[in-house]
Amino acid sequence: MGDSHGNITIYNVRGNDAKPLFDSKDLEGKHTDIIWELQWIEKKDKGEFLVSISGDGRIIEWSMKKGLEFTELKVLKRETNPNQKDVYAGADISEKKTSGMTFIVTGGLSIDFPADSNNNYFTATEDCAIHKCSTSYSEQYLDNYYGHNGPIYRVRCNPFWDSTDCPIFLSCSYDWTVKVWNAKHNVPQHTCLQIGKLREQVNDICWAPQTSSVFASVANDGRIEIWDLALNPLAPLVTWFDKDPKDTTGMTFLKHAKTVVRFTNAISPVLFTGNVCG
């Protein structure tokens, strides 16, 4: 798990000891801001590694072979975004100088790897951009994707497209939308808009493990939506609000912001969600 102080803590849930196996709080060079996401990746003949992305703009790979060790994969720098010109005008933004050049570090919010890939990956940032990166090449982005007008909270690669094909991925944002992307194109191929008064930031998205066209999303108004792009790319199949158990009519809906959504597995048609109330 990652925390708001930039610490990584790793537990063994099968063990009887409640203490963590590893933690990074005393490591020099660890993250200095909120860790927004962690991903486990399997490298051929090298074992399992943990990758983290943080508000400090850094992407770090963690190894546990000889204690907790890390390698910095990337420092995210802001690129000119045609949708967000002068977005930082007048803001107090830290600048970092490298090799005589000045660039602005941007916070990373989400990271995901295409199926069967431990090299190329996608990152979502607070300055409304998605970047394709490589673990073996840290100097530049492989590609940039622009289409959102707000911070991008999640990027998710479709599990049915592996790294040898052209990855399809989703993104969701503060700008009330979910967008569908083809990695060959720098603009979204489809935008899933929220309808009418249901205009809230979309906090999380998740592809269904059973079929390549279905995904779920959750928003700040407590809503769950399930989409099937093959059946209807213009509207969700299901929109659901939790009902207040104290209301005998069943007509009072709970508006607690939902922050996470997950499908259980490829066998059971079940969703898990979490909200700001814990």
> SS3 letters for 13-31?
CCCCCCCCCEECCCCCCCC
pLDDT of residue 238: 93
Q: Does residue 95 have a pLDDT over 70?
A: no
Report pTM: 0.86
84: confidence class by pLDDT, cuts 50, 70, 90: low
pLDDT of residue 154: 97
- Which residues have C-beta within 8 Å of that of residue 67, sequence separation ≥ 6? 22
Q: Does residue 102 have a pLDDT over 60?
A: no
Residue carrying the six token digits 């700040």: 220
Q: Tell me the per-residue pLDDT of 36-56, one tens digit each, with 9 for 90 and over.
A: 999 998 887 778 899 999 999
Establish how many alpha carbons lie within 13 A of residue 237's alpha carbon, considering only the half-sphere containing its beta carbon: 11
Rounded mean pLDDT, 27-34: 92
pLDDT of residue 16: 82
DSSP H/E element including 97: strand 95-98
pLDDT of residue 195: 59
Q: Does residue 94 have a pLDDT over 70?
A: no
